[in-house]
Amino acid sequence: MTTLDDLPLRDDLRGRSPYGAPQVEVPVRLNTNENSYPVPESVVAAVGRAVQAELRDLNRYPDREAAALRADLAEYLGHGLRAEQVWAANGSNEIQQQLLQAFGGPGRTALGFTPGYSMHPLLALGTGTTWVDGRRGADFGLTAEHAVAQVREHRPDVVFLCSPNNPTGTALEPAVITAVLAEAPGMVVIDEAYAEFARPGTPSALSVLPGHPRLVVTRTMSKAFAFAGGRLGYLAADPAVVAAVHLVRLPYHLSALTQAAARAALAHRDTLLATVEAIKQERDRIVAELRRRGLTVAASDANFVLFETGGDQREPWRILLERGVLIRDVGLAGWLRVTAGTPAETDAFLSAIDAWLERKA
Shared domain for 69 and 27, answered yes or no, is no
DSSP letter at 133 equals E
Task: Report which of 191, 179, 192 is spatially closest to residue 151, judged by C-alpha positions.
Answer: 179
CATH of the domain at 333: 3.90.1150.10
CATH number at residue 66: 3.40.640.10
Strands 158-162 and 187-191: parallel
> So what's the pLDDT on residue 24?
84
Q: Are residues 28 and 120 in the same domain?
A: no
| Domain annotation covers residue 13 | no
Q: Does residue 11 lie in a domain region?
A: no
By mean pLDDT, which of 16-20, 35-39, 333-337 is the weakest? 16-20
Domain identity same for 241 and 298: no
Strands 109-112 and 130-133: parallel
* Distance (Å, whole) CA 26 – CA 99: 36
pLDDT averaged over the chain?
Answer: 96
Q: Which residues of 142-181 are buried (b: 16+ CB within 10 A; e: fewer)?
A: bebebbbebbeebebbbbbbbbbbbbbbbbbbbebbebbb
176 and 305 in a common domain: no
**5 belongs to a structural domain:** no
The verdict on 80 and 198 lying in the same domain is yes
Provide the pLDDT for residue 154: 98
Would residue 6 count as lying in a domain?
A: no
Q: Using CA atoms, how far apart are residues 132 and 216, in angstroms rounded to an integer?
A: 19
**Cβ–Cβ < 8 Å for 262, 114:** no
Domain boundary among 252, 267, 282: 267
- Let me know whether 34 and 134 are in one domain: no
User: Which of 208, 233, 267 is the C-terminal boundary of a domain?
Assistant: 267
Domain count, the chain: 2
- Give SS3 for 147: helix
The answer to whether position 170 is within a domain reads yes
Is the same domain home to 222 and 323? no
CA 84 to chain CA centroid, Å, is 23
Give the model's pLDDT for residue 160. Answer: 98
Q: Are strands 187-191 and 335-339 parallel, antiparallel or unpaired?
A: unpaired
Mean pLDDT value across residues 173-194? 97
The reply to whether 235 and 280 lie within a common domain is: no
Decide if 2 is inside a domain: no
Q: What is the extent of the structural domain holding 334?
A: 22-39+273-360
Across residues 189-206, what is the average pLDDT?
96
317 with 238, same domain: the answer is: no
Do the domain assignments include residue 351? yes
